[in-house]
Amino acid sequence: MSQPCDVVVLLSGTGSNLQALIDSTATGDSPVRISAVISNRADAYGLQRARDAGIATRTLDHKAFEGREAFDAALVELIDTFNPKLVVLAGFMRILSAGFVRHYQGRLLNIHPSLLPKYKGLHTHQRALDAGDREHGCSVHFVTEELDGGPLVVQAVIPVELHDSAQSLAHRVHAQEHRIYPMAVRWFAQGRLSLGEQGAMLDGQLLAASGHLIRN
Ligand code: GRF
């Protein structure tokens, strides 16, 4: 097999998406190798998950820096010591500067708990309920300078049930995140997924604006 694709994961919290990625690489023949997990919070449980899996961890506390630019510059420096082909945001609760995003253009993925372009930002499940949406879901996208706005790679759609709460929706959406994020990362590692001038490309074809759509 050719060299695996080195991936650095950034997170701030629980890291259930990291866990899904770790589990998906456990097969031995995975094209994905998670070389490091970096958090801006030392108490992020995701760091423990990484340690348990024998993955290198680093903490870079944003509060120790004067401003976003300085933190992001240090973050780039730290990430690049691992020389990753792909950087994966998995619940990294920081807005990234334009310089950071440009540095990793075409090799920076994010997952967001809504059917983008709907509900950028926070409280997505409650907002979907408040709007009376019949469908909700999650999206993997390439990161560009627009917050939660880059070209979509894959979306998983779930029906909103009559008795759903924000919590029950979050639970079902999370299960879908754990399915589509490893899938997208694998595509990238296999060289099937890239960012073209007009959007995300899969197997040489421009993906639809919604990305690859999975309905449940
Ligand atoms: C997920 O809901 C993801 O969509 C969002 O942050 C959350 C991270 O969850 N970007 P976890 O830490 O992976 O459990």
Strand partners, 193: 202
Say if 1-104 and 111-216 have the same CATH topology: yes
| Residues contacting ligand 1 via CB (< 6 Å) | 11, 13-17, 90-91, 111-113, 138, 177
Residues tagged active-site: 112
pLDDT at position 148 is: 85
pLDDT tens digits, one per residue of 58-95 = 999 999 999 999 999 999 999 999 999 999 999 999 99
CB 46 within 8 A of CB 14: yes
Q: Name the DSSP letter for residue 95.
A: P
Cis peptide upstream of residue 182 (ω within 30 degrees of 0): no
pLDDT < 70 stretches in the chain? 1
Q: Give the class (CATH, top level) of 1-104.
A: alpha beta
Q: Give the class (CATH, top level) of 111-216.
A: alpha beta
Tokens representing residue 71 in the block:
């933190």
- Residue 12 alpha carbon, nearest atom of ligand 1: 12
pLDDT at position 38 is: 98
pLDDT at position 77 is: 98
Report the interhelical angle of 166-189 vs 16-24 (nearest 10°). 40
Q: Is 57 helix (H, G, I), strand (E, B) or coil?
A: strand
So where are the chain's domains?
1-104, 111-216
Tell me the CA–centroid distance for residue 92 and ligand 1, in Å: 8
Q: Is 102 helix (H, G, I), strand (E, B) or coil?
A: helix
- Angle made by CA atoms 141, 143, 144, in degrees to the nearest 5: 130
* Radius of gyration of the CA atoms of the chain, in A: 17
pLDDT at position 1 is: 54
